[in-house]
Structure 1
Amino acid sequence: MTLSYASGVSVTPLLGDTIGANLDRTVAAFADREALVDMASGRRWTYDQFAADVDAVALGLRDLGVTKGDRVGIWAPNCAEWMLVQYATAKLGAILVNINPAYRVHELEFVLNQAGIRTLVAAPRFKTSDYAAMIEEVRPRCAALTDVILIGTGAWDALVEAGRAGDRHLLHGIGEGLGADDPINIQYTSGTTGFPKGATLSHHNILNNGFFVGELCGYDEEDRVCVPVPFYHCFGMVMGNLAATSHGACIVIPAPAFDPKAALDAVAAERCTSLYGVPTMFIAVLNEPSADTLDLSSLRTGIMAGSPCPVEVMKQVIDRLGMSEVAICYGMTETSPVSTQTRAGDSLDRRVSTVGTVMPHLEIKVIDPETGVTVPRGTPGEFCTRGYSVMLGYWEEPDKTAEAIDAARWMHTGDLAVMDDEGYVNITGRIKDMVIRGGENVYPREIEEFLYTHPDIVDAQVIGVPDEKYGEELMAWVRLREGAPELTAETLREFCQGRLAHFKIPRYVHVVDEFPMTVTGKIRKVQMRAEAVEILGLGDAAAQRHA
């Protein structure tokens, strides 16, 4: 009997340096090669130019008093400045706190206070959100916040100019005082108890994960990686930015937010070799008319991740976009993020129907969730991972950290998985109730807590239901107070609008007198999901095959 355990062997050693030192090494090797292209603004940087601007931003932040361990928030869509701040904070040893561009006022306020953000770099606005006004609204209630720098304004220009006038050699001295295991990044994951938790990651965590993702994609200085996925996720800033810069490759930002036409235009214009996306993005790209008319022959590889990957979509990405070496990755923010990845040499069936095998230098196992014992291969259980990628912990939440990471440093993902005889993994479901909607992790408890504030709702349960476009959509089952007016999906959406991030607003509403319960009084969400498929006629979406 072979157990569901695997370790990733590699002849390539782990990187032991900091993000700043690694960037300096890449710049020394590839100074004149392109590092970054920002399509929306028409700007581009060689590695030498990129390093100069990173150092200017770092010295500008230092002039504001930012030092090692200080939290610097970044609240902006994808843009060159986001990337400059990412590397500048790493050079100072400051901790970059990623803030979701979809956040509303109460979510922004929570993150600013929970992380103790000292300096906030933000876009003035994005889409319909007036970031500047939202920041001013919460600022009196955020004691730690001393500086707000809005990108594209005089404050940003002054920061950069002050940094340009500084002495870049100072950064070498600062760098010598930084360690690879220092915390460098906080990313918030939706909270099971109503509030997000800040996964705290080190240089060692994310630099190595980005590097080995790039290794398995075969990156070198000739590659040009189109990144339409958000930088505030690990997908963008680790699997994208750090995978590229650790190999001397170029990052191409097609647009501030995902736009299928912009992504395809960027691939064609910049001769990109790699394209990233969650399944919904690739579906949109495949449905874009220009997918069949543009010259996309430069594409070789790419990554599909973020939520279960439909087999048919994966096949089309290979056939129509020419991404013959496209990979599926699986992981979570708390593991920097990737634990398994398909390889270019895997058979087509393996690459379209599994999430691959263990990453180099990591361990994975599938356990019985009740006993903690590793199950035989072919038996479903909870997926766990251990190694360099496991986060330092949840920011200032040791109890929550202990719930996720056991005494032997195994991260318990809450995902149900099966490992086959060759070590390939399939993700079959979740122990937790987490819903993954178009690559966004959503915890129903957070939405349920919010729905309780509705004057007519006495009880609410939120579940994920199958969706052909987003993988999963949100459905709220609610009990109403006696005499309450009819509640529809539309009226509930109006109640949530502007108070919840758009991806947390339920698409479907089902009013009930009582919820399905176990004999011990627990809500039976499994039964609710099965009933919802029937009620909503989602049989086709439920039948889709995923990796």
Structure 2
Amino acid sequence: MTVDRLELHDLLPRELRRSWVVDGTCPDLDLYSLFRARQIANLHHTAVLDAKGTLCYTALDRKVRCLAAGLRGLGIRPGDVVGVQLPNHRSAVIADLALAALGAVALPFPVGRGVLEAECLLRRAEAVAVIASVAHKDFRHAADLHALSRTMPALRHVVAVGPGTAPEGTVAWSELLRSDPGAFVPARPDPDGAARILVSSGSEAEPKMIAYSHNALAGGRGNFLASLIPDGTPPRCLFLVPLASAFGSNGTAVTLARHGGTLVLLDRFTPDAALTALREHEPTHVLGVPTMIRMMLERLDATDEPLPAPTALVLGGAPLDETTAEAAAKAFGCPVVNLYGSADGVNCHTGLAHTVPPTDGAGVVAGRPDPRVAEIRIADPDTHAALPDGNVGEIISRGPMTPLCYVAAPDLDARYRTPDGWVRTGDLGYLDPDGVLHVVGRLKDIVIRGGANISPAEVERELSSHPRVRDVVCVGVPDPLMGERLAACVVPRGGRPPTLDELGAHLTGRGLERQKHPEHLLAVDVLPLTPAGKPDRAALRERLTENRPSASAAEPGLPLAQAG
């Protein structure tokens, strides 16, 4: 049976892509070639620190070549899409580089993602193989994906990564690693061709998949990390987020291949494990989500033991509030970098010039755009025409890190890319006279209460400064009378959680009108996280919906009772 291969096209003019090679912005080499050059230059430099210990560049390269030879023996060809569902471990790094060496396209997605979502991704991307864990916590990804393969003609192989016995019908990772590395000759794919597909849940019913080239990863995203390495020394990066996430794409392709650094990896995030890794391995850069840092800060409350100061604490994936930024800067003893970015192709950050990132009346600023990463403009949401500085409009982005296209989704290309290739973020913001980007809200991420629009991000930002709030996420819950009502999901600081009245009084004092005050309150010990490491808003919304009291008992326009 013949299966059509996935076509990935570039929505940017080729001459624009090539201009970034000509001026030196992008390296014009595929990811494996870049990694190989780093390996030759520093044979025994540590590439990976994980639960199994250390792995140097030469040992890593040998494993990469073994796996690549084994995968080629299975029939994996240049341009084939191969899924990867592995935890933060050396195996994920080996898989990334082996697929790059084959000229294949990696489709990583975090462990813990359900089988239905995995099927959606693999089917739409026409993946020919998937590399997955035999067991991770309560999941049996390899067995589940093999069961899927019976109904997916394109998916020919499931590679099972131990520990544990490979399920019947799968290919054992350990067998592939016994292949002869000397017989492998790497492919030399087009640096402007697809190397990796990033997955983003975004606001769509199904996860969005975005194709990135070698140059966009090592060049555009690589330039982002370069701006945070003041002396050019190869970085030692502690990744609290999954390497399989969009944020985690700064791992293998950027930290190793572009900068010759070291990856410090945790199989799964816990605040205690992260603090232990920080003390034992003294990373230069820590990359995580604000919620993770707040969890770590809570563990530090009981000890005066100082932490080794990194060069930078890089926080992205969710809005960063001033309270967390100040506490983190004090505890970690380094600049806190607010990263505004997305898998869709936008990047802006506050840099190393400030220990605590600057703020405006709306919260922490996004930073100054770097054209070596992504140029940012403010545009009219309807016409896409550029607006003058100071005017609020839609944030759009285009530059060396701009992705090729959405995968198997021409409707998303039409919706989120302008005719000349700019990425529409759906975020509202403005550029001030100094060229600093300020994000003020989203076009669609709103709760509509009786016809009035409420920005959850705005309310979260103000609640985060309440002295009894450690962490907070706001979500909308369905309501038969008002359509939606806002709920605050709070991790309390100390013992007793704040009441709705106390939160309302705080918001009034911060100048937030009453109609934007939360009407449900859910107190939790810890915010649930998605497999990508972000707060799980869907799980919180489901819990609130299950616990919500009947709206019929509430007077129109008045707060309801606490949800929990």
Scaled to the shorter chain, the TM-score interval is: 0.7 to 0.9
1:18 aligns with 2:30: yes
1:504 to 530, 538, 547: 538
Contact 1:365/1:385 (<8 A) preserved: yes
- What SS class does the counterpart of residue 192 from structure 2 fall into? coil
Partner of 2:496: none
- Verify: 1:65 aligned to 2:75, yes or no: yes
Structure-2 residue corresponding to 1:231: 243
Within 1, Cα distance between the matches of 2:214 and 2:125? 18
Counterpart position of 2:442: 430
Give the alignment of 1:386-425 within 5 angstroms.
386-425=398-437
**1:381 partnered with 2:414:** no
Matches within 5 A, 1:64-463: 64-152=74-162, 153=165, 155-162=172-179, 165-167=180-182, 170-171=185-186, 174-175=187-188, 178-190=189-201, 192-218=203-229, 220-238=232-250, 242-253=254-265, 255-289=266-300, 292-324=303-335, 326-335=336-345, 338-346=346-354, 348-350=356-358, 353-361=364-372, 362-433=374-445
Q: Deviations over 1:304-356 (max 9, x none)?
A: 111110111111211111123x3221111021xx5212221247452782121
- C-alpha separation between the residues in 2 aligned to 1:406 and 1:186? 20
- Residue identity in the other structure for 2:404: L
CA displacement at 1:245 relative to structure 2: 3.7
Change (3 A) 1:112 1:291: farther
The answer (yes or no) to whether the contact 1:225–1:244 under 8 Å persists in 2 is no
Assess, with a 3 A threshold, how the Cα gap between structure 1 residues 27 and 340 changes in structure 2: closer, same or farther: same
Select between 81-90 and 375-384 the one with higher mean Cα deviation.
375-384
Residue type of the alignment partner of 2:193: D
Shift of 1:67: 0.9
For 2:538, give the aligned amino acid. Answer: K
- Separation in 2, partners of 1:138, 1:502: 26
Tell whether the 8 Å contact from 2:337 to 2:357 is kept in structure 1 after alignment.
Answer: no
1:225 deviates by: 1.1
What amino acid is the match of 2:177? V
Cα distance in structure 1, aligned partners of 2:23 and 2:154: 45
Superimposed CA distance per residue, residues 412-465 of structure 1 (whole angstroms, 9 cap, x where no aligned partner): 110111211111112111112389xxxxxxxx9xxxxxxxxxxxxxxxx99957
The alpha carbon displacement at 1:150 in A equals 1.3
Of 46, 69, 82, which aligns to 1:34? 46
| CA–CA distance in structure 1, aligned partners of residues 275 and 23 of structure 2 | 36
SS of residue matched to 2:381: coil
Deviation at 1:102, TM superposition (A): 2.9
Q: Counterpart of 1:238 in 2: which secondary structure?
A: helix
| Pairwise CA distance, 1:206 | 1.2
Q: Structure 1 pair 504/129, CA: closer, same or farther in 2 (3 Å)? A: farther
Q: In structure 2, what residue type is equivalent to 1:472?
A: V
- Structure 1 434/84 Cα, relative in aligned 2: closer, same or farther at 3 Å? farther
Separation in 2 of the partners of 1:191 and 1:141?
Answer: 27
> Any idea what the Cα deviations from partners look like across 1:473-507, whole Å, max 9, x if unmatched?
44330559xxxxxxx999xxxxxxx9xx9653224
TM-score (norm 1): 0.77
Q: In structure 2, do the counterparts of structure 1 residues 434 and 45 end up closer, same or farther at CA, with 3 Å as the change threshold?
A: farther
Q: Cα distance 1:53–1:360, how it changes in 2: closer, same or farther (>3 A)?
A: farther
Task: Give, in angstroms, the shift of residue 148 of structure 1.
Answer: 0.9
Which one is further off, 185-194 or 413-422? 185-194
Task: Note the residue ranges of structure 2 that are not aligned, 5 or more in a row.
Answer: 1-19, 167-171, 465-469, 482-519, 523-529
Cα distance, 1:365–1:228 mapped onto 2, change above 3 Å: same
Deviations 1:366-423 (A, max 9, x none): 1221343322322221100112222111112223212211111111110111211111
Distance in 2 between the 1:535 and 1:30 partners?
63
Partner SS for 2:185:
helix
Q: How far apart in 1 are the matches of 2:351 and 2:156?
A: 46
How far off its partner does 1:223 sit?
A: 2.9
Distance 2:393 2:327 in 1: 31
Cα distance between partner residues in 2 of 1:286 and 1:53: 37
Superposed displacement of residue 239, structure 1: 5.6
Separation in 2, partners of 1:238, 1:17: 17
CA distance in 2, matches of 1:47, 1:232: 21
- CA shift, 1:36, in A, is 0.8
Mind listing any 5+ residue stretches in structure 1 that lack a counterpart? 1-7, 436-443, 445-460, 481-487, 491-497, 515-527, 539-547
Q: CA deviation at 1:192?
A: 4.3
Aligned equivalent of 1:541:
none
Q: TM-score, normalised by structure 2?
A: 0.74
Distance 2:251 2:306 in 1: 25
Say if 1:536 and 1:218 are closer, same or farther in 2 by CA, change over 3 A.
Answer: farther
